[in-house]
Amino acid sequence: MTTLIPPHGSNTLKPLFIADESARLALEKEAANLPGVLISSATAGNAVMLAAGYFTPLDGFMTKADAISVGESFTTSSGLFWPTPVLNLVSDATELNVGDRIALKDPNVDGEPVLAVQHIASIEVFSDEEMNTLTEQVYGTTDSEHPGVAEFRAQGNIAIAGPVQVLNYSYFDKEFPDTFRTAVDIRESIREHGWKRVVAFQTRNPMHRAHEELCHMAMDRLNADGLVIHMLLGKLKPGDIPAPVRDAAIRKMIELYFPANSALVTGYGFDMLYAGPREALLHAVFRQNMGATHFIIGRDHAGVGDYYEPFEAQEIFDRIPKDALKIELFKADHTAYSKKLDKVVMMNEAPDHTKEDFVLLSGTAVREMLSEGKAPPVEFSRPEVAKILMEHYQAQS
């Protein structure tokens, strides 16, 4: 049997989904009589990631001390490397007590069904100053225009900590049955393929030629056996392309431009943080837990606006202890089509080029072309991919 990279901080994956049907039914029955707490979308995403094993080795939501420690030193109080706080934040906990068991209700599904049951280990309040400090540490800013900051601060300042048992995967497995995969599922697929060196690619956008070629480059240079495209399926900021459209475009690209059985198209249930460097570290934890040995990080990974420097998400990996993660990085420069060489290259590997030698288009320009029914140049986007995106944009207009 293929030996895979170990999960983060553990010899075995720790999915918190209650897989045993009789135990799950018993827990559902208990949950019906527990106090219900309507959680935020971000907390629901945390619960799904805990359920799916991506947050191994965590057993639930962090205490205030753990969150503050993560903000200050990238470790929990016990010394586990962890880059972002995993919290259940609420604005009111007057009816709750330490020692209670509570039913966490899902805000993203009609009828707000119970997503998980949590044992309350502590209920602690963050002061305004503590929230500001933590926000600055995680997001690099306290600007309320930053979509991640706005979402984080909207949840409340009371942390309900404690272990969770998760009953379902929210809407993700139902809305994306062909794409949503747990860390357990992906490890199993990697084993079935017999892959040893596995490259992971994170995306919240459709993949154009530059992304496609970047994956090919990484696989070739690392002598990798397989690629796992791992797309975010949760909430995005307004204007981002919906997951079903991205999924269709990426699948078409893989079908036509990658060898058979060389790539898996998968997704995970989490809301985007837009936390740039910190989120890049968190993404690396996910990918190690799902069995990837290498992770592509390019320009402005997980960024938004001008909040982060172009390669800050790569540089942060040089600031953490060498043994913090087992997964290795594939650091990529901005990639673009070279008119001189008639292929996609990393721009830093073409020192004799000027800007005019590349096919460079802004996201705004591409969106305008697509919404007008014009395909971007073939050097920028595969025609089959552009067709799917054009149909989406034209349906919006």
Residues in the chain: 397
State the catalytic residue, choosing from 205, 251, 299, 367.
205
Q: Taking the CB of residue 97, how many other CB atoms lie within 10 A of it?
A: 11
Q: Would you call 46 a catalytic residue per the annotation?
A: no
Strands (E), the chain: 36-38, 60-61, 89-90, 101-105, 114-119, 122-125, 158-166, 198-203, 226-232, 263-268, 294-297, 328-331, 335-338, 343-346, 358-359
Contact between 352 and 338 (Cβ < 8 Å): no
State the catalytic residue, choosing from 24, 153, 204, 251.
204
Contact between 330 and 346 (Cβ < 8 Å): no
Q: Give the Cα-Cα-Cα angle 138, 143, 148 (nearest 5 degrees).
A: 50
Give, in order, the Cα–Cα distances in Å from 186 to each of 86, 245, 252, 325: 22, 22, 20, 19
Q: CB-based contacts of 209: which residues, under 8 Å, 6+ apart? A: 337, 344, 378, 379, 380, 381, 382
Q: Would you call 204 a catalytic residue per the annotation?
A: yes
Distance, CA of 174 to CA of 15 (rounded, Å): 19
Distance, CA of 196 to CA of 324 (rounded, Å): 21
Q: Are strands 122-125 and 101-105 parallel, antiparallel or unpaired?
A: unpaired
Per the DSSP assignment, residues forming a β-bridge with 61 are 162
Q: Are strands 60-61 and 158-166 parallel, antiparallel or unpaired?
A: antiparallel
Show which residues are catalytic. Answer: 204-205
